[in-house]
Chains A and B, each alone.
Chain A
Amino acid sequence: MATLLPLAHVSHYLWVLYVPPVLIVVGSIVWNMRSERRRRD
């Protein structure tokens, strides 16, 4: 018997797919700042 995945409410979690671009940019900024600070020190 085929196992059905419980996807009835999957649309409630679609917002997760919109977050990575923001995280990538913010992460890059933080990484850039830390590496710059390290270079200065």
Chain B
Amino acid sequence: MTLLPYAHALVAREDLPIPAWLFAWGASIVLIASFFALSVAWREPRFEDDRRRPLGGGLSKVLLELPTQILCGAIGVFLLGVAVYAGLRGTEAPDRNFAITFLFVTVWLGFPVLGAFLGDVFRPFNPWRAVGRVAGATFSAIAGQRPRHLPYPEALGRWPAAVGLIAFVWLEIVYGPSGGIAVALSPDDAAVAALVYSGYTLAMMALFGVEKWCERGEVFSVYFGMFGSLGCFEAREGRLGLRRPLAAAARWATLPASAAVVVASIGTTVFDGAREGPLEGPTGTVGDWLVDAGLGEIAAARIVDTAFMLLCVAAIWLVYEIGVRGMATVRGAPPLGRLRRGFAHTLIPIALAYLIAHYFSLFIFQEQAQFTYLLSDPLGTATTDLFGTASGGIDYGVLSANTIWYVQVGALVVGHVIGLVLAHDRATAFWGDYRQAARSQYWMLAVMVAFTCLGLYLLSVANS
């Protein structure tokens, strides 16, 4: 059986020109230099207006016409159906079954990266939105009126999405027993979870409306939409438009609990990295205590991993909260709640950086499997060869360990510098006076340096 590689522990790094920890010092110097450059040169907010301009009518028409929407929705539903079918009927070996790699690697990691450049690409392909819209249209045609929905409790904001995000990652890295496989969840469990989630999502859409739920509660819409807010294309009022990159992120976090979604994203990725490194000892020790207390080994491992995952999320929240409270001490600061929500979008590039840094090699290796044997033999039963690529495999030599390390460092540095830029821009909007704005950003600089050093430390431990 071919085992999936760990996210970043495939082979030991070759000799680097300087020790790994010096990269953290170098990255911190880059951040500090960026901070001073921004303080001097960036005096007006530039991302408060996304300066969207509509693209040519022909292109808009082709991409946003109803037939295209139906086609994209149908593709989404079809692929979800294939994944569920493969999960239920295919092999139980996670690395040979289409469902696991497709759901947890191709979709989960592919859409954030694609969205960061292009915009919210997931939206047209969202299978639940497609089904919900068809159901709503059918209801309207039969009943002669649009379906009535309950008013969404606005105070709830994006909490359902934040909780759902943690639950999804929990399913992937805590519920699935490990044992050397990156995503070791059984395909059958993944398929059942997808069916349960589909039922839940469609019920919520029926209650609160399709678009309302997609914007607030549907985990994948919110999560991929968050990264999509960094991208430059946007469909609005029936027309495709080109907007200033990163600018839409500034208005993404206006709903309550948006910060919780970003923090959950970073916290869960941190846990996934730390459990192979610094948390390996503590989780093992606490797990042993629970086993000694009479719990089964699997139950103990799950309880401990769940607790530590939530602790990681709480730790990331604490760092952000320190930054926010620090900013609140600067003269002329807006109320704490406004600050907390107003700077949440500055963590989006960091969440993306952590995602790329942590899963880059996994993505590159697993996509080779996705587009060779998993595509031709989705059930993994060695009985089909749909595209003649069933005998294909993964070439682990396509990336050297050092290349992976440099991509990881690059992603972390660029992500944090972008976070710093977004934070400085928001500060100039909140404080007006650029000197006070720069003063407030000492705190966000500390947050960024802390996240960068943490990220590099986790990668260095996992790679060694």
Write the residues of chain A forming the contact surface with B, with a CB cutoff of 8 angstroms: 11, 14-15, 17-22, 24-26, 28-29, 32-33
Interface flag for B456 (CB, 8 Å): yes
With both beta carbons as reference points, the residue of chain A lying nearest to B449 in the complex is identified as A25
Contact call A25/B445, Cβ cutoff below 8 A: yes
Contact call B446/A25, Cβ cutoff below 8 A: yes
Contact of A14 among B21, B25, B443 (CB under 8 A): B21
Output the least CB separation between A23 and chain B (Å): 10
Contact call B449/A21, Cβ cutoff below 8 A: yes
User: Could you list 17 A-B pairs, sorted by A, with CB under 8 Å?
Assistant: A14-B461, A15-B278, A17-B19, A17-B24, A18-B454, A19-B453, A21-B24, A21-B28, A21-B453, A22-B449, A25-B28, A25-B32, A25-B445, A25-B446, A29-B442, A29-B443, A29-B446
Contact of A18 among B326, B443, B445, B453 (CB under 8 A): B453
List of A residues within 8 angstroms of B28 by Cβ:
21-22, 24-25
List of B residues within 8 angstroms of A14 by Cβ:
21, 457, 460-461
With both beta carbons as reference points, the residue of chain A lying nearest to B22 in the complex is identified as A17
Interface flag for B450 (CB, 8 Å): yes
List of B residues within 8 angstroms of A11 by Cβ:
464
Contact call B449/A18, Cβ cutoff below 8 A: no
Contacts A11-B464, A22-B450 given; does A17 touch B442 at CB 8 Å: no
A17 to B449 CA separation, bound complex (whole angstroms): 14
Contacts A11-B464, A15-B278, A33-B329 given; does A22 touch B446 at CB 8 Å: yes
Known: A17-B19, A25-B28, A29-B443. 9 other contacts (CB 8 A): A11-B464, A21-B28, A21-B449, A22-B28, A22-B453, A25-B32, A25-B442, A29-B442, A29-B446
Contact call A21/B278, Cβ cutoff below 8 A: no
Output the least CB separation between B445 and chain A (Å): 6
A14 to B105 CA separation, bound complex (whole angstroms): 31
Chain B, range 310-359, C-beta contacts under 8 Å to A: 326, 329
Contact call A15/B449, Cβ cutoff below 8 A: no
Contact call A18/B21, Cβ cutoff below 8 A: yes
With both beta carbons as reference points, the residue of chain B lying nearest to A17 in the complex is identified as B21
List of B residues within 8 angstroms of A29 by Cβ:
326, 442-443, 446
List of A residues within 8 angstroms of B454 by Cβ:
18
Contact call B457/A15, Cβ cutoff below 8 A: yes
A14 to B454 CA separation, bound complex (whole angstroms): 12
**Chain B contact surface mostly:** helix
A24 to B442 CA separation, bound complex (whole angstroms): 12
Chain B 87-123 interface mask (CB, 8 Å, partner A; 1/0):
0000000000000000000000000000000000000
Contact call B446/A18, Cβ cutoff below 8 A: no
| Across the A-B interface, the 10 shortest Cβ-Cβ residue pairs | A21-B28, A17-B21, A18-B457, A29-B442, A18-B453, A25-B446, A25-B449, A22-B450, A18-B24, A26-B446
A20 to B24 CA separation, bound complex (whole angstroms): 10
A19 to B445 CA separation, bound complex (whole angstroms): 15
List of B residues within 8 angstroms of A20 by Cβ:
25
Contacts A22-B453, A25-B28, A25-B32 given; does A32 touch B442 at CB 8 Å: yes
List of A residues within 8 angstroms of B25 by Cβ:
20-21
List of B residues within 8 angstroms of A18 by Cβ:
21, 24, 453-454, 456-457
A24 to B461 CA separation, bound complex (whole angstroms): 23
Q: Name, among A11, A18, A24, A32, the residue most crowded by chain B CB atoms within 10 Å (CB to CB).
A: A18
A19 to B450 CA separation, bound complex (whole angstroms): 8
A15 to B459 CA separation, bound complex (whole angstroms): 11
Q: Name, among B32, B329, B453, the residue most crowded by chain A CB atoms within 10 Å (CB to CB).
A: B453
List of B residues within 8 angstroms of A24 by Cβ:
28
A29 to B443 CA separation, bound complex (whole angstroms): 7
A18 to B298 CA separation, bound complex (whole angstroms): 34
List of B residues within 8 angstroms of A25 by Cβ:
28, 32, 442, 445-446, 449
With both beta carbons as reference points, the residue of chain B lying nearest to A20 in the complex is identified as B25
With both beta carbons as reference points, the residue of chain B lying nearest to A27 in the complex is identified as B446
Chain B 428-452 interface mask (CB, 8 Å, partner A; 1/0):
0000000000000011011001100
Output the least CB separation between A3 and chain B (Å): 24
Output the least CB separation between B230 and chain A (Å): 25
Output the least CB separation between B209 and chain A (Å): 45
Q: Name, among A11, A29, A32, the residue most crowded by chain B CB atoms within 10 Å (CB to CB).
A: A29
List of B residues within 8 angstroms of A32 by Cβ:
442
List of A residues within 8 angstroms of B449 by Cβ:
21-22, 25
A11 to B461 CA separation, bound complex (whole angstroms): 9
